[in-house]
Amino acid sequence: MSAVEVNNIVKSYNHKRVVDDISFSVDQGEIFGLIGPNGAGKTTTIRMMMDITKPDSGKVEIFGESLGEDTKNRIGYLPEERGLYRKMRIVESLVYLASLKGMDSQLAARRADELLARVDMLPHKGKKIEELSRGMGQIIQFLVTIIHEPKLVILDEPFAGLDPVNTELLKQMIFDLRNRGTAIILSTHRMNEVEELCDRVLMIDDGRCVLYGELAEIKSRYRNNSIFLESEGDVGEIEGVIGRRENRGYVELFLDGETSAGDVLQQLVARGIMINRFEVSTPSLNEIFLQIVGEEHE
Amino acid sequence: MNKTLLIMKHEFLNMVKTKGFIILTLAFPVIALLAIGIYQIVQGASREPIEAVNIGYIDEIGEFDDFTNQPGDITFSAYGTQEEATSALLAEDINEFIIISSDYVATGRIDRYTLEKELEPAEKTQWAMKSFLLSNLLQGQTSLEIAERVKYPMWLNNIRLEKTGDIASDQGGFTAFMIPFMLSVLLLMAIFSSSGTLLQGLGEEKENRVMEILLSSISARQLLTGKVLGLGATGLVQMVIWLLSATFLLRLVSTTIGGMFSGIQVPVSMLVLGIVYFILGYLLFAVIMTAVGAVGTSARHSQQLSMLFIMPSILPFYVLFFFMRDNPDHIVSTVFTMIPITAPMTIFVRFALSEIPVWELALSITLLVIAIVGGLILAAKVFRAFVLMYGKSPGLREIVRSLRLA
């Protein structure tokens, strides 16, 4: 059973389709990237998954059930622009918001202590939210998201504004969750985070789905069939290479479409050329994104 | 625990902890206590030994010889001429003197001479002069009893009867006026202060985006119901504190000041209806304010919008008190009783002025409850549609459209 099943959802505001016929599914134990530029419809899609707004048409199922109070209890949500009750103490915030997710408050208090210990913030548990630094506040916000042990966690730009140490801490906790079978949706417009963390992605632009599938598969699909080669001495003519571009320290070889990277490597090895780097070029997600969005807008 | 109750508890604790709530709740008993204290001090100061007053008079008619000793230790002394009286006044033998001129019976004119600069003569002195003049004028014309009656033609004693002919428990008058009046003032203050706190809280939740976390956990209706109930509980606590302190203060007042306060007996029916309308009115405003808070872009904007609803609720206060005192059963007051937003104030005002038919009460309470529940459902829809739209407040047409869609 998949964690999330979204079918053909549509949402309009003021006669403009903000989300236009989007479908996707998220499996348990995977990190799913929801990517696209600002204003593409990511947040609206997320809100429909949590029953905050209703789609005009289409259907959302969470763990095979249609949306309701029970499904809300199983979702943890980290909103993009974060905030908590500024005057409330850390531990009170954690327990109160966990109890709104249907968790027993004594259990929530124990869990809060565990989590605070995990991020080395147990000594600060009595502090008010407004006394925390931005990074600490963000970590607390993440703890609020996961304290009730949700089976589906939705993170909207979780790394924005975090320093490298906290970023690493957060990534580690996200991987832990994934390894325990939690489904994680990561919504962001930073492609490097997606490449590092996600198994599969959905890219939306202008409310429409433009790319959906496994990250590795997408990358190979958008490969422009070239090889980066760093070697000592000139390689000379190679069969199947129809063009080359000299770069600083390396050369990019463009293949004719019938020759594989292996064929090229064999030829190079046969000629006894010293190879320092041989890499099948894959475009970054960022390049793919620019390519697609560029095409869309042409 | 039920999520609505969790929200209610959270809101209640938050509200009760605010400075505004504590100050307002304590202000009423503290101010009343201070007022009693000041009254005591003022009374103590004015209870100095009564000074004897000696009033000189020049009788140009020649019939004002008797009754020279009047109550309040005031004596009248006759002088032959104005010069004699003036020198007696300057010598402080007398405090003042009057001239009963020869045409007094025809004109009623009395010239009074005094050394004091004053707004008008003391009431006690005036009364003594009237009594002195009347007694002498009527002497021989009628009996002493009749002369006394002329001074006090009546002691008015009002007794209100029920339709059955029994003496009514609610005698009207000062008590019947005072209690509803206090209730309406308290309700207004409570609505003003708590709606401010509510709007501020909502504004904060919108601004720091806690709202999104709340809505990812509970439905808009649960959130609103919890908030409204939390606010209602706050109102109830405030009311109970006020009632308890009022009971205590009344007892204190009737033993110390006495007089008009000793007769105060609050009819139970009035008290019960008062509390019912207080709570219902409070809840209705809580519902309205949450809807306003959802639509408003900031706490300040919401507060401006909220005036649109607070103003009409005060309307009956002015209309009924000032324009319809003599005709409180006018059709307008019935209409005001039926409109939920004006009902609580109207009921309080009408309590003070006249009797309210039972069917009107029943219908008005029913309508008020329907308005609260219906308002809550509508508010949840408005809330759901607009609470997460930041920075732009919807026009009336958009609100109506979203209600139709939702």
What tens digit of pLDDT does each residue of B82-96 get? 889 999 989 888 989
Q: What is the CA radius of gyration of chain B?
A: 31
Residues from chain B that touch A83, judged by Cβ atoms under 8 A, are: 207-210
**Structure token digits, residue A80:** 């993009």
| Alpha-carbon dihedral B267, B271, B276, B278, rounded to 10 degrees | 140
Predicted confidence (pLDDT) per residue in A176-187, tens digit: 999 999 999 999
Query: Which region, left, alpha or beta, applies to residue A15 given φ > 0 means left and ψ of -120 to 50 means alpha?
Result: left
Alpha-carbon distance of A116 to A127, in angstroms, equals 12
Residue of A nearest to B11 (CA): A96
Nearest residue on chain B to A52, alpha-carbon basis: B215
CB contact under 8 A, B214 and A100: yes
Interchain proximity A77–B207, CB inside 8 Å? no
Q: Which of A20, A23, A21 is nearest to A7 (CA)?
A: A23
Q: Is A74 on the interface with B (CB under 8 A)?
A: no
Average confidence (pLDDT) over A57-65: 90
B384 CB neighbours in chain A (<8 A) are: 52-53
pLDDT of residue B264: 55
Nearest-Cα distance to chain B for A149, in Å, is 13
Give A67 or A75, the one with higher predicted confidence.
A75
- Among A69, A75, A100, the strongest candidate for a mutation testing the B interface, having the largest count of B CBs within 10 A, is A100
- Residue length, chain A? 298
Confidence of residue B273 (pLDDT cuts 50, 70, 90): confident
* ipTM here: 0.79
Measured distance CA(B30)–CA(B401) in Å, rounded: 49
Which stretch of DSSP H or E encloses residue B266? Answer: none
Amino acid at residue number B103? D
Q: Which of B3, B209, B215 sits opposite A52 (nearest CB)?
A: B215
Compute the average pLDDT of residues B30-50: 73
Query: CA nearest A51 in B: which residue?
Result: B216
C-alpha B259/C-alpha A286 separation (Å) is: 88
Q: What distances in angstroms separate CA B373 from CA B19, B206, B293, B309, one per listed residue?
A: 30, 24, 18, 17
Give the residue-averaged pLDDT of B317-327: 68
Residues whose CB is less than 8 angstroms from the CB of residue A287 and which lie 6 or more positions away in sequence, other chains included? A222
The helix/strand/coil state of B193 is helix
Q: Is the pLDDT of residue B48 over 60?
A: no
Looking at domain B53-151, which of 3.40.190.10, 3.40.50.970, 3.30.1780.10, 1.10.540.10 is its CATH number? Answer: 3.40.190.10
Q: How far is CA B187 from CA A202, B339, B344, in A?
A: 55, 17, 9
Residue B391 has pLDDT above 50, yes or no: no
Q: What is the pLDDT of residue B265?
A: 58
Closest to B354 (Cα-Cα) out of B321, B311, B306? B321
A156 CB neighbours in chain B (<8 A) are none
Q: Which tokens go with A132? A: 């925390």
Judging contacts by C-beta atoms under 8 Å, the chain A residues touching residue B1 are: 99, 105
Would the CB atoms of A72 and B1 count as touching at under 8 Å? no
Q: Which residues of A touch B213 (CB under 8 A)?
A: 77, 79, 84, 97, 144
Q: Which of B1, B204, B214 sits opposite A99 (nearest CB)?
A: B1
Contact A86 B216 (CB under 8 A): no
Give the DSSP letter string of B212-233. Answer: HHHHTTS-HHHHHHHHHHHHHH
State how far the Cα of B197 lies from the Cα of B341, in Å rounded to an integer.
20
A97–B7 CB contact, under 8 Å: no
Residue B18: its chain A contacts at CB < 8 A? Answer: none
Q: Give per-residue pLDDT as tens, B173-200.
A: 666 666 677 777 777 777 777 777 788 8
**Average pLDDT across chain B, whole number:** 80
Asked whether the predicted pLDDT for residue B158 surpasses 90, the reply is no
As annotated, the residues of chain B forming the CATH 3.40.190.10 domain(s) are 53-151
Torsion of CA B206, B208, B210, B212, to 10 degrees: 60
Question: Which residues of chain A neighbour B380 with C-beta distances below 8 Å?
Answer: none
- The string of pLDDT tens digits covering residues B251-262 is 777 666 655 555
pLDDT at B46: 57
What does the angle CA A139 – CA A144 – CA A149 come to, to the nearest 5 degrees? 115
State the nearest Cα–Cα gap between B304 and chain A, in angstroms: 24
**Residue A5 buriedness (CB in 10 A; 0-12 / 13-18 / 19+):** middle
Query: Is beta strand A251-255 parallel, antiparallel or unpaired with respect to A226-231?
Result: antiparallel
Chain B hits for A69, CB-CB cut-off 8 Å, are: 3, 218-219
Residue A2 pLDDT more than 60?
A: yes
Alpha carbon distance B169, B182 (integer Å): 20
Tokens of A248: 């600083």
Cβ-Cβ contacts under 8 Å between A and B: the total is: 56
Contact criterion met (CB below 8 Å) for B253 and B43: no
Pairing of strands A183-188, A31-35: parallel
Q: Among residues 39-58 of chain A, which lie with CB inside 8 Å of chain B?
A: 47, 50-53
Residue ranges of chain B whose CB lies within 8 Å of a chain A CB: 1, 3, 6-7, 10, 204, 207-210, 212-219, 384, 388
Q: Please tell me the distance in Å from A260's CA to the nearest CA on chain B.
A: 50
Is the pLDDT score of B392 beyond 60? no
Determine contact: A81 vs chain B, CB below 8 A.
Answer: yes
Between residues B351 and B65, the one the model is more confident about: B65
Cβ-proximal residues to A290 (8 Å cutoff; 6+ apart), any chain: none
Distances (CA, A) of A224 to A153, A212, A228, A268: 35, 19, 12, 21
Question: Cα(B234)–Cα(B253) distance, rounded to whole angstroms?
Answer: 28
SS3 A67: coil
What does the pLDDT read at residue A109? 92
A125-168 confidence digits (pLDDT tens): 888 888 888 888 888 999 999 999 999 999 998 888 788 888 99
Using a CB-CB distance cutoff of 8 angstroms, which residues of chain A are in contact with residue B399?
A: none
Taking residues B271-277, report their average pLDDT. Answer: 80
Prediction pTM value: 0.71
Question: Inter-chain contact B3–A69, Cβ cutoff 8 Å?
Answer: yes
- Check pLDDT > 70 for residue A101: yes
